[in-house]
Homo-oligomer: A and B are copies of this chain.
Amino acid sequence: MIRLLIADDEDLLRGALAALLELEDDLTVTAEAATSTDAVRLAREHRPDIAVLDLEMPPSDGLRAAETIRAELPTQVILVTRHARPGVLRRALSAGVSGFVPKTTPATKLAEIIRAVAAGRRYVDPDIAASALTEGACPLTDRELEVLRASRTGASVNEIAERVHLAPGTVRNYLSAAMAKLGVGSRHAAAHRAWEEGWI
């Protein structure tokens, strides 16, 4: 019997998924979590065979939870995501995740994937894998990513500088570098682009 932890902030999906998987003879859902912190806590407590984690989950995200779980438990992790962006897959794999599944996967296939991962195999959605291989890695430095993240909400240079503890001029330099690398003409376009690619 494969013991599962399911974590997703959408009760609707989590509940439906749990019910669906519970129908399978060899699967059982031992814990459900709606937040990334709960996911880690319940994983420690129940030590499930496999944790199915949503990537977009407050307060941090599924990736952080996956890293923590992989670091201290033998539990295998399958990440489920809505925006299946190549950059995210890259990060997930280096965090030791065994499965990477977009939410466009048919529900009936999930049980198979869980069994494959339980048997020690890995599963990565073929479409995402293909685009991850053809696309280059993130060209931005940590600082550049940091200032781009801070500018997501439309903040001014001064506000960003305040937030990341840098001089306004330095912030403009980093933004300028990021914009040049991404080939766009404003920091807002750069932030949007970086978000689309899954880098921030």
Q: Given that A11-B105, A11-B106, A107-B11 are known contacts, is A192 also in contact with B16, CB under 8 Å in the complex? A: no
- Scoring A15, A16, A80, A156 by chain B CB atoms within 10 A of each residue's CB, the highest score goes to A16
CB-CB contacts below 8 Å: A6-53 with B: 9-20, 23
What is the oligomeric copy number? Answer: 2
Inter-subunit contact A16/B107 (CB<8 Å): yes
Inter-subunit contact A10/B154 (CB<8 Å): no
- Which of B9, B14, B80, B188 contacts A154, CB < 8 Å? B188
A residues engaging B (CB < 8 A)? 9-20, 23, 80, 82, 101, 103-108, 110, 152-156, 184-193
Residues of B within 8 A of A185 (CB): 156
CB distance from A20 to the nearest CB of B (A): 5
CB distance from A132 to the nearest CB of B (A): 20
Assembly CA distance A89 to B82 (angstroms): 23
- Which of B13, B17, B193 contacts A103, CB < 8 Å? B13
- Which of B12, B18, B155 contacts A13, CB < 8 Å? B12
Residues of B within 8 A of A16 (CB): 13, 16-17, 19-20, 107
